[in-house]
Amino acid sequence: MAEYILGLSAYYHDSAAALLRDGVVVAAAHEERFTRKKHDAAFPRKAAAYVLEEGGVGLSDLAAVAFYDKPYLKFERLMETYHGFAPRGVVSFLSAMPVWIKEKLFMKKMLREELAKFGRGKPRILFPEHHLSHAASAFYPSPFDEAAILTIDGVGEWSTTTIGVGRGKDITFLRELDFPHSLGLLYSAFTYYCGFKVNSGEYKLMGLAPYGIAGSERVETYKQKILDELVDLRPDGSMLLNMAYFDYATGLTMCRDGKWERLFGLPKRAAESDLSQEHMDMALAIQEVTEDVVMLLAKTARELSGCKNLVMAGGVALNCVANGKLLRAGVFDDVWIQPAAGDAGGALGAALAAHHVWAGHERAPLPEGAMDRMAGSYLGPEFTRRDALRVASRNDAPCEVYDEFDALCAKVADLLADGKVVGWFQGRMEYGPRALGGRSILGDPRNPEMQKKLNLKIKYREGFRPFAPSVLAEAVSDCFEQDRPSPYMLLVAPVAEKLRFELPEGYWQKPMFDRLYVERSKLPAITHVDFSARIQTVHAATNPRYHKLISTFNARHGCPVVVNTSFNVRGEPIVCSPWDAYRCFMRTEMDYLVVGDCLFDKEKQPEFAESGDWRDEYELD
């Protein structure tokens, strides 16, 4: 009889659910994709309902439900922290305690009540520690029989960073760094100070960093102040933060603005205000410090574990610039990163920890021909042609239906080459924060206007933000300084030297957008200001339809790369259903939409009437 385990993450940010059948991932999804609420932290009722339905099971069929952390340990950390910093933090204490006393201390009861809504049954509820969930999500789906494990995030219960080793079905932790000393929270403090939203805008800070002037006196001064005043960094990558500068332990903000302003001589940037060169240089300074810390931690992991391969998870593992530099440094032969590295991935990790650690099952062999055990991260809902036509009928929306997929690919390839922006909705939805060709918006990377068009007219987001390339796996080394797969868009690498253009004189002295709109390569839409790109390699084995489209674009127009950005607008979760896709298509200046075999032309669509301004639905991220 098959063993089913449901994994859950909830009540902080990015709630999710995942289902295993005999240790194999059946389905996994973020709650936000169903509720349309970005970073939804509520119990993942809809995500759990989906994964159970996908598995064809009910509550009574589950061997266990695994929650991604230990609430009592987290409460212990909160109480000890408030006690240690008292009388500071009384406002935060009075704000947090009622929720804990009324609800979170009784997590098992809360979970039982939520699970009861799915029907009869009383499976065992397990609570693996937060960083065990991260470590399990990284090691067990990886292609390695043995690997060092590095998990880095803000904080779990106590841990903020762990180094471990995975062998077979076993995970052993070797080192641990505890709260309040945290690389993730340090990076989030700079995210806050540069005017972005914590637990949401960290990737914007990473995208802003290349606008800083590398090696400049100001960047080096900022870095030195970070290392002299904020962080006591040790050779093994461990650190102590100077808590006189931070407020997150007991306060309601990340840092003490007045002290930071005196330290850096730079006021906190107001959200949505213009970006100064000083804030760009600050972003680069903390990015370089973060890369240095990750490198030191990786070297320590190699030394302690003796392993030649590394796996990573935790929110900091989404820093793909640091990941790319780590891989190229050669500390490990290979690095594998969980595509849902943040808290959403904790749902999968908790289920895997239950299967291998609690139940003691050995790992199944890697499926023949597979790169890993994540099925390309295409683990969400899939929809049929009938679902697409139902949306078309409901909205009196004309569309062209293609019975031959080759013909559809030829049409879309020509539209892209003609400068059109195409919404591409195919197969199962992605698990993790990246769109990987299942729920994507596509463009021609050779078009010098594409980056601006996508940011300002499609995504309605900050104009400085870069876009990622999807490249045929077999052509990655022709276009980028990258010699291996990057299927989950978690590695940044330089654009190939042969594709670059020489920068004009005085380039780094130009204003931000003057720099941005200089054509730096033959692929200007995906080449960041420092010649870097966040790469997704596309594989026929995991996404044959997307691979076919790019192959057709290459055959017809001589380019094995397309621009790929997530199918959403700023503040909106990635689309889940055909209706989500059509609505987003009609709200933006997207030119065409493909849902399965159906092609929608914007010029042929009826007027899309909505009451009020749809932008009010979404908080700015």
| Catalytic residue set | 13
Residue with tokens 């080449």: 527
Q: What is the number of alpha carbons within 13 Å of residue 585 lying toward its C-beta?
A: 34
Structure tokens, 528 = 């960041």
Is residue 338 within 8 A of residue 141, CB to CB? The reply is yes
In terms of DSSP bridges, do strands 309-313 and 334-337 run parallel, antiparallel, or are they unpaired? parallel
Structure tokens, 319 = 């820093």
The Cα–Cα gap between 222 and 283 comes to 10
564 beta partners: 442, 468
Neighbouring residues of 407: CB distance < 8 A, sequence distance ≥ 6: none
Strand order in the sheet with 400-401: 400-401, 598-601, 592-595, 422-425, 439-443, 561-566, 468-472, 532-538, 491-494
The Cα–Cα gap between 121 and 497 comes to 60
Q: How many CB atoms lie within 10 A of CB 500?
A: 15
The Cα–Cα gap between 375 and 365 comes to 14
Cα four-point dihedral sign 78, 82, 88, 93: positive
For 208, 269, 274, 465, the CA distances from 277, given in Å and listed in that order, are 10, 12, 10, 15
Q: How many CB atoms lie within 10 A of CB 469?
A: 25
Q: How many CB atoms lie within 10 A of CB 72?
A: 13
Supply angle C-alpha 558, 562, 568, rounded to 5.
Answer: 160
Q: For the chain, count helices (H), then strands (E).
A: 20, 21
